[in-house]
Structure 1
Amino acid sequence: MAKDKYVLQSPKDQRFYRNFATLATFLSVGNQEWWGYKKPNKVQIYHRRLACILSSQFKSFEKVMKLFMDKIHLYNYKDMNAFTRQVMNWAITHIINTYVCIMGCIILLVFNSLNYMLVFHIIGHIQMFKYKCKTEFSDTLSNNETRDLLISLIKEHSFIIEVFNNMKHAFGYYVTGNYCHNLLSDSFLLYQIMFGNKEDWLVYGLMVVVYLGGLIVMSLVLEEIRRESVDIADDVYSIPWQNMSISNQKILMMVLARSQPPLEFISAGGLRAGVQPTISIIKSTFTYYVMLKTSIKLN
């Protein structure tokens, strides 16, 4: 009963529309004054200068928003009671859709952040390993001290490889899925921009920027591991080994052999993640676009 009374209230008096108007004003996708509420405060005004959606700046957008409360909203019509149930169904559907979209974005954001956090900490361990190779060895160390340092290097390098392999297994399917998704979707988005309706250009253009932008960032981050690890062997070889004992030289040779291959992120399906696959995907995007364009012209 209380819910029915709430729905039958004037939309200007409903808390939902008051809060929604405040949020829209804060995000620069509306103005609460258009719906008959008080003027925006200073915080909203300053934030509106930072967040700006192009479509919300059109006069047509302002006109529609001003008409919503007095002309468009079903409250203004006598037969509104007949639509109460439909309005409630719309509200439930909209809430579920909003929840699913927001949670999906948050899940992907958090998962990406975890991946990047692990990557940057592995890079930090690689840099620490290289720093030890350059600074902690000298000709004044005894054989036992040198041996202990070499063993610590082996443990550190083994730890890096173990964590990196676990990370590849944990995030491999996600990285491969991201590459495959971009490989298929970017060409279709480009086609929609070129041959779709002009009013959809902004939407598809933003999608291309987001898709390719996320792929490029991920590729650069994963490529950084390979770039940092490619010269580990040189740093190991720079350790002053000439005056070491034979046993310590043999240990150093083990470290040198293990550090030869660079750490490359090989995701699910054997895909080598990095800059090169991204370049191939961008090339394939334009290839698929030309193929679609040619096939449609022939038909």
Structure 2
Amino acid sequence: MKLLRIFMRILYAWPDKIIDNNPSKYASYGKCYIFFIEFICLPPGILYIKRSIGSISFLDLGRTYITVFMNVVAALRLILIFLKRFEKIVVDFINKIHLFNHRNRSEYAMQTHILVHKVSHFCSIYTCLAMIFGIILFTCTPLYNNIVSGAFYNYKTTNVTFEHSVYYQLPFDYEHDIRGYITLFMFNWYITLICSSCFSTFDWLMALMIFHVWGHLQILIHSLENFRRPATKHGEIGEWYSEEEMKLVSSELKELVTYHNLIIEFTSRMKEIFGPVMILYYTFHVVSGCILLLECSQMDSVALIRYGSLTFLMLQQLVQVSVVFELLGTTSYKLINAVYSVPWECMDNSNRRMVYLMMIQSQRMLAIKAMDMVNVGVETMAAIIKTSVSYFIMLRTLSELD
């Protein structure tokens, strides 16, 4: 959570006003600034593509296509930091949903809390390292190419062309002038950090939320599967709760229904807030996956160095997010069986109604849907990869015909 807070503060997405005792006075200005600096990169990038079509090959323009698409996704994700409901769900996640608040519910709850804590810790470290590695690789590859080509040694000559990680249509020359190169090089480092944070931090936050909701489901399933049974049999009717036990059963069932409602309510809010993010995210991966495969298909050292690592990072991010979200869908099926395993046949009518209510609610799959249209999970991930490969084959065929 400390690491998450650091990276969310880079984007001014951490709800300081509610969580921290000393909120920043300039948080609102920071949100406007970070959105402006991300949005302002879009027009120059689009103009550069428009100017370069016809004069630069599609394969050479591939990186700019991808960076413009990444810029669009990052800018639209930053809209979330202005929404009160986003701020509220982050606060509720920390104060209500995080398993630290429920670790003393039972011994199994403590074990689940420790397990989820370890998984979340690994996910956090992995995400941070992947983001840092991606930033360094993305920005240092052009720097390395400039060093190898001797551009820095011959920068005073007119036939030197500097390579950049991101290209824009700008009013100064940054491809041949060393001063323009240094200016854009420094800016690209900064905007790459912001854009990478937009991708990684929100995915990271969603993953942590999913891990903790999964932990709550595991605790609920365990409680249902180990629900108290009647202490003694009562004559011919077999097992039946005594009057005192029936009161305890009623109290425990109410607690489990409330607990289940908390999980359903939080998951529904996640669907509402992150649904549009995921539909745009999947669209981006269809487009970028196709372009990156086309770039890598050149199979020369320059293309593999430039696009191979980016392709791997994009693919692993898609797989990571899809597998994490798949946890909710698979656990929902276990919950249905767990509710039915409760000894409802030993209860009176009022308690049976509560079990019946839980049984109806458990039929609602907790899997996240992107805008109630596309399931976020492994099946959609596989469909996206297949679609990207299909478009790649089509474009590759067309390029060979030309």
Task: Give the TM-score taking structure 2 as reference length.
Answer: 0.52
Determine the C-alpha separation between the residues in 2 that align with 1:107 and 1:243.
53
* Map 1:1-299 → 2, pairs under 5 A: 64=147, 71=153, 90-140=181-231, 142-195=245-298, 198-268=301-371, 270-299=373-402
Larger radius of gyration: 1
* TM-fit CA distance, 1:97: 2.2
Judge conservation of contact 1:219–1:275 (CA < 8 Å) in 2.
Answer: yes
* TM-fit CA distance, 1:252: 0.8
Opposite residue 112 of structure 1, the aligned amino acid is D
1:6-55, CA deviations, whole angstroms, 9 ceiling, x for partnerless residues?
Answer: xxxxxxxxxxxxxxxxxxxxxxxxxxxxxxxxxxxxxxxxxxxxx998xx
Aligned residues: 232
> Would the alpha carbon gap of residues 285 and 229 (structure 1) be closer, same or farther in structure 2, given more than 3 Å must change?
same
Determine the C-alpha separation between the residues in 1 that align with 2:194 and 2:286.
25
Determine the C-alpha separation between the residues in 2 that align with 1:117 and 1:159.
17
What SS does the corresponding residue of 2:369 show, helix, strand or coil? coil
Opposite residue 277 of structure 1, the aligned amino acid is T
Determine the C-alpha separation between the residues in 2 that align with 1:206 and 1:296.
23
Determine the C-alpha separation between the residues in 1 that align with 2:146 and 2:275.
49
* TM-fit CA distance, 1:227: 0.8
Unaligned runs of 5+ in 2: 1-132, 157-176, 232-240
Opposite residue 113 of structure 1, the aligned amino acid is W
* TM-fit CA distance, 1:108: 2.4
* TM-fit CA distance, 1:185: 1.6
* TM-fit CA distance, 1:218: 0.4
Determine the C-alpha separation between the residues in 2 that align with 1:277 and 1:220.
10
Determine the C-alpha separation between the residues in 2 that align with 1:100 and 1:150.
52
* TM-fit CA distance, 1:64: 4.8
Determine the C-alpha separation between the residues in 2 that align with 1:62 and 1:267.
40
Unaligned runs of 5+ in 1: 1-50, 75-85
Judge conservation of contact 1:187–1:285 (CA < 8 Å) in 2.
Answer: yes
Residue of structure 1 in register with 2:51 after alignment: none
* TM-fit CA distance, 1:112: 1.6
Opposite residue 240 of structure 1, the aligned amino acid is P
Determine the C-alpha separation between the residues in 1 that align with 2:395 and 2:300.
17
1:143-192, CA deviations, whole angstroms, 9 ceiling, x for partnerless residues?
Answer: 11111111111111111011001111221222112211111121121112
1:80-132, CA deviations, whole angstroms, 9 ceiling, x for partnerless residues?
Answer: xxxxxx76554443322221111221232222211111110100110111111
Q: Percent identity?
A: 23
* TM-fit CA distance, 1:200: 1.3
Q: Larger % of helix: which? A: 1
C-alpha RMSD of matched pairs (Å): 3.0
Judge conservation of contact 1:168–1:266 (CA < 8 Å) in 2.
Answer: yes
